[in-house]
Amino acid sequence: MKRLHLAAATAAILALLSLDTQQAKAITIFTSRTDWNTAVSGSDTFSEDFESFTSDTEFRTTPVDVGEFTLLQVGNARAFRNLIEVSPFEYDDNNGTNHASVFTDFGATNVDLTLNTPVFGWGADFFEANSGEGLNLDLVLDIGGVLDTIPVTVNDGFFGFVTNPVEDIRKVTFISRIEDLGERGEGFGLDNVTGAISKGRTIPEPASGLGLLAFGALGAGSLLKRKQQYKVRAKV
């Protein structure tokens, strides 16, 4: 009976800690800017519309400092798009104002958006995304490593995310989702980039109580074991 109780307690601990780990990497996706703003309310945020640029400025070989972040093409040095574009525009994947004209090519060309200050939430307006190879975002942590890769699920409109619990995202990398053997790549417009600063922000971790429950289960198992040992001694 003692072994059964201890086994049950151990199983409960493992299950709770497993759930704790799963919930520890929670990323909420938003396709509404209003909903995103609500989710990050109370945090320091920024928004960039590229209107301070007066001429086309490419970020194919040299990073461009936009203020709160830099943009840089990584990989194949193909001289195509990957610039902050002002009127007149070469492509119509924009809302008629200054924007970033972005191009990725599967396994060859990515674009890094590196933040000056880590964020726990990020978003932007996308124009004609997923019209070629499809578009994914690598969420790169401030400490290094990719937290997750998420697919952009809109063609035209706002797309963003919020991490809960707070994760310090230092870089958002635009990458193609699948390979197009015809070298079509993935081209899209990007505008009204926004971010929610991580510093000083704490969102209660949903799974934090699970760890306590796990320790509680361990304590209950230990207490049960001591009681059984006491009963054995009493009989002796």
How confident is the model at residue 199, as a pLDDT? 82
Residue 107: pLDDT band (50, 70, 90) is: very high
φ/ψ (deg, to 5) at 72: -155, 130
Residue 69: band (very low, low, confident or very high) from pLDDT cuts 50, 70, 90: very high
Nearest residue to 117 (alpha-carbon basis) of 75, 162, 169 = 169
pTM: 0.76
Other CB atoms within 10 Å distance of the CB of residue 79: 10
Say which residues have a Cβ less than 8 Å from residue 101's Cβ, sequence separation at least 6: 81, 82, 83, 84, 85, 89, 90, 91, 93, 94, 187, 189, 190
Least confident piece of the model among 92-101, 102-111, 227-236? 227-236
Is-contact 72 64, C-beta < 8 A?
yes
pLDDT single digits (tens) 130-152: 999 999 999 999 999 999 999 99
Which pLDDT band, with edges at 50, 70 and 90, does 211 fall under?
very low
Q: What percent of the chain has pLDDT over 70?
A: 73
pLDDT value at residue 201: 60
| pLDDT band at residue 61 using 50, 70 and 90 as cut-offs | very high
pLDDT at 180: 84
Residue 33 parent element (H or E): helix 33-39
Structural domains present in the chain: 2-15+207-235 (no CATH), 27-197 (2.60.120)
| Residue 15: predicted pLDDT | 44
End-to-end CA distance of the chain: 19
pLDDT at 200: 64
User: Which of the two residues, 218 and 198, has the higher pLDDT score?
Assistant: 198
What is the rounded average pLDDT of the residues 211-233? Answer: 42
Q: Is the pLDDT of residue 9 over 80?
A: no
Query: Residues 36, 28, 177, CA angle at the centre, nearest 5°?
Result: 105
* Residue-level pLDDT at 202: 55
Looking at every residue in the chain, the average pLDDT score rounds to: 83
Confidence check: pLDDT of 3 > 90: no
Structure tokens at 81: 């798009």
